[in-house]
């Protein structure tokens, strides 16, 4: 009996694996034997499998497949390589920054040797210190003679640098054409496209291949410059309101001497224009004695050279130009005063800034560029630097008038102001009448003007002898 019970109980126990026939027989009889209790070995296996599964979750093992081999290993290798690449890239960037710092240190070490290589001036050929007798003389003037002397009359409003005071009580042509409003500026691109379709207006910004011309941004750049020339403008009557010890003729003598210095050192024209601007800006804000006027001149040229030149002259060279009248410490002290007065905002659009743009518009009507036109316009614009009365006019209107008078001087068979120039300069011919007449007076005043540095400069062959040219009488029909 015991053996039968053991046999029946074993028969009713569920074996480890069931065949389909056995499972079908159990379902037909409706009696399923109880599950066989796991043995100790099976329990140990289950515990080991549970521990292994937990360890696999903490550190997953790559799954190996027969066909794809080890996919997880491939992705991990790829990620590891990309991480190494990123790590190497950071190392490369760190090396580049170190090399850049080393290069800057080497440049700072090499820079003094560049200054040493500058040629020293001969004592016989140097422009010497301006004698006080020349500064005091009142005959050295090159002012243009206008009717009622309207160019030199100071305005009643003493406020400087304000657009309202500039517009009030001036002669016709002094005020610029109203600038583009904010609503109109939004459609400036459409206006430019419509203007370029006009056969009478040449698109001077059509050359998109030359990146230095900034064809895509030229219109916005010069719109911004037209606003800047109003904001950063020296007072046009500081001789009457601020200065008491210096005169207009002293300012003219100083600028005439600075032209010789710029020619001696072969400085770019922008340096000269910026020098004159810094001088006028300082004089319109600060009182100065005549003994320090030349010190102010060489200091402003030193600052302008640092801003515009690649290799500016050293302070010792500027002191040498004045026969060592001023020491290095005096120049450095004056440099601090000029920079504080300008609040370190050195750049301001000058006549040369607009002259490049207007000359490009003027050259559009020629089959080949005219060098005489360029040199003559530059000559007339530099003549205006020496005349104190031209501070009344905006730099842009002086540049436009120089182009107008240069074209009229070279050729009287056609009108000097076409629609292309009117479009890009934003001035009509009638707006330029007063300035053009004043420029012609300067051009024709060859005998009564003792300031001859600019005229001697443009009488050279490299400038096509444009200083020897004289313009015919201006007709009223031109305006």
Q: Is 245 within a domain?
A: no
The dihedral of CA 442, 308, 394, 201: what is its sign?
A: positive
Q: Is 63 within a domain?
A: no
Average pLDDT over residues 159-174: 42
Give the length of the chain: 479
Q: Any idea what the CATH number is for the domain that residue 449 is in?
A: 1.10.472.10
Per-residue pLDDT of 428-459, as tens digits, reads 999 999 999 999 999 998 776 788 899 999 99
Q: Is 53 within a domain?
A: no
Query: Do 358 and 470 fall into the same domain?
Result: yes
First-to-final CA distance of the chain? 141
- The answer to whether residues 257 and 130 touch, using CB atoms and an 8 Å cutoff, is yes
- Crossing angle of helices 293-308/248-264, nearest 10°? 40
Total count of domains within the chain: 2
- The answer to whether residues 395 and 229 touch, using CB atoms and an 8 Å cutoff, is yes
Residue 20: the pLDDT is: 73
Residue 31 — pLDDT band, cuts 50, 70, 90? low
pTM of the model: 0.64
Residue 163 reports pLDDT greater than 80? no
Burial of 268 (0-12, 13-18, 19+ CB in 10 A): middle
Reference 146, options 176, 175, 173, 164; nearest CA is: 173
Average pLDDT, the chain: 74
Question: Which is more confidently placed, 141 or 27?
Answer: 27
Per-residue pLDDT of 331-377, as tens digits, reads 999 999 999 999 898 888 999 999 999 999 999 888 888 899 999 99
Query: Do 377 and 477 fall into the same domain?
Result: yes
Q: Which of 305, 326, 347 is the last residue of a domain?
A: 347
CA distance 398 to 380: 9
Residue 201 — pLDDT band, cuts 50, 70, 90? confident
C-alpha separations of 14 from 4, 8, 42 in Å: 17, 12, 15
Residue 3 reports pLDDT greater than 80? no
Q: Is 370 within a domain?
A: yes
Residue 277: the pLDDT is: 96
Q: Is 386 within a domain?
A: yes
The distance from CA 463 to its chain's CA centroid, rounded to whole angstroms, is 28
Query: Do 222 and 354 fall into the same domain?
Result: yes
Query: Do 282 and 308 fall into the same domain?
Result: yes
User: Which structure tokens are listed for 272?
Assistant: 């000269």
User: Which structure tokens are listed for 15?
Assistant: 């074996």
Q: Cα-Cα-Cα-Cα dihedral of 184, 189, 190, 194, to 10°? A: 110
Residue 281 — pLDDT band, cuts 50, 70, 90? very high
Q: Is 221 within a domain?
A: yes
Query: Do 428 and 458 fall into the same domain?
Result: yes
Query: Do 228 and 264 fall into the same domain?
Result: no
Query: Do 223 and 357 fall into the same domain?
Result: yes
- The answer to whether residues 389 and 144 touch, using CB atoms and an 8 Å cutoff, is yes
Q: Which residues are 82's β-sheet partners?
A: none
Query: Do 228 and 271 fall into the same domain?
Result: no
Q: Which of 347, 373, 388 is the last residue of a domain?
A: 347
Domain of residue 342, residue span = 253-347
Residue with tokens 């895509």: 216
């Amino acid at each position: 009996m015991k053996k039968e019970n053991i046999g029946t109980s074993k028969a009713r126990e569920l074996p480890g694996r069931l065949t389909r026939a056995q499972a079908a027989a159990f379902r037909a009889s409706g009696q399923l034997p109880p599950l066989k209790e796991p043995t100790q070995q099976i329990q140990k296996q289950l515990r080991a499998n549970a521990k292994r599964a937990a360890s696999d979750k903490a550190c997953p093992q790559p799954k190996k497949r027969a066909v794809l081999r080890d996919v997880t290993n491939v992705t991990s290798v790829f990620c590891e390589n990309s991480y190494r690449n990123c790590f190497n890239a950071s190392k490369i960037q760190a090396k580049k920054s170190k090399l850049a710092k080393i290069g800057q240190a080497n440049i700072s070490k090499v820079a003094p040797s560049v200054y040493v290589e500058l040629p020293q001036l001969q004592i016989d050929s140097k422009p010497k210190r301006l004698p006080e007798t020349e500064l005091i003389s009142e005959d050295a003037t090159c002012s243009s003679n206008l009717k009622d002397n309207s160019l030199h009359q100071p305005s009643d409003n003493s406020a400087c640098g304000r657009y309202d005071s500039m517009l009030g009580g001036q002669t016709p042509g002094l005020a610029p054409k109203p600038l583009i409003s904010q609503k109109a500026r939004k459609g400036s691109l459409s206006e430019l496209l419509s203007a370029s379709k006009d056969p009478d207006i040449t698109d001077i910004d059509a050359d998109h291949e030359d990146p230095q011309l900034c064809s895509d941004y030229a219109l916005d750049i010069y719109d911004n410059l037209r606003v800047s020339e109003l904001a950063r403008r020296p007072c046009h009557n500081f001789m009457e309101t601020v200065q008491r010890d210096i005169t207009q003729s002293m300012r003219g003598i100083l600028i005439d001497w600075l032209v010789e210095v710029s020619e001696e050192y072969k400085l770019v024209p922008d340096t000269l224009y910026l020098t004159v601007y810094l001088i006028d800006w300082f004089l319109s804000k600060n009182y100065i004695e005549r003994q320090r006027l030349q010190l102010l001149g060489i200091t402003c040229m030193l600052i302008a050279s640092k801003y515009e030149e690649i290799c500016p002259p050293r302070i010792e060279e500027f002191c040498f130009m004045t026969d060592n009248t001023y020491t290095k410490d005096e120049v450095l002290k004056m440099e601090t005063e000029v920079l504080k007065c300008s609040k370190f905002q050195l750049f301001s659009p000058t006549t040369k800034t607009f002259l490049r743009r207007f000359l490009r518009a003027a050259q559009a009507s020629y089959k080949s560029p005219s060098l005489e036109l360029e040199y003559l316009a530059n000559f007339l614009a530099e003549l205006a630097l020496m005349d104190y009365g031209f501070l009344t006019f905006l730099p842009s209107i002086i540049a436009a008038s120089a182009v107008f008078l240069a074209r009229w001087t070279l050729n009287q068979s056609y009108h000097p102001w076409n629609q292309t120039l009117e479009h890009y300069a934003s001035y009509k011919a009638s707006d330029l009448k007063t300035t053009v007449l004043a420029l012609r007076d300067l051009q024709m005043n060859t005998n009564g003007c003792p300031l001859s540095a600019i005229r001697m400069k443009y009488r050279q062959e490299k400038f096509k002898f444009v200083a020897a040219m004289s313009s015919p009488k201006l007709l009223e029909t031109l305006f």
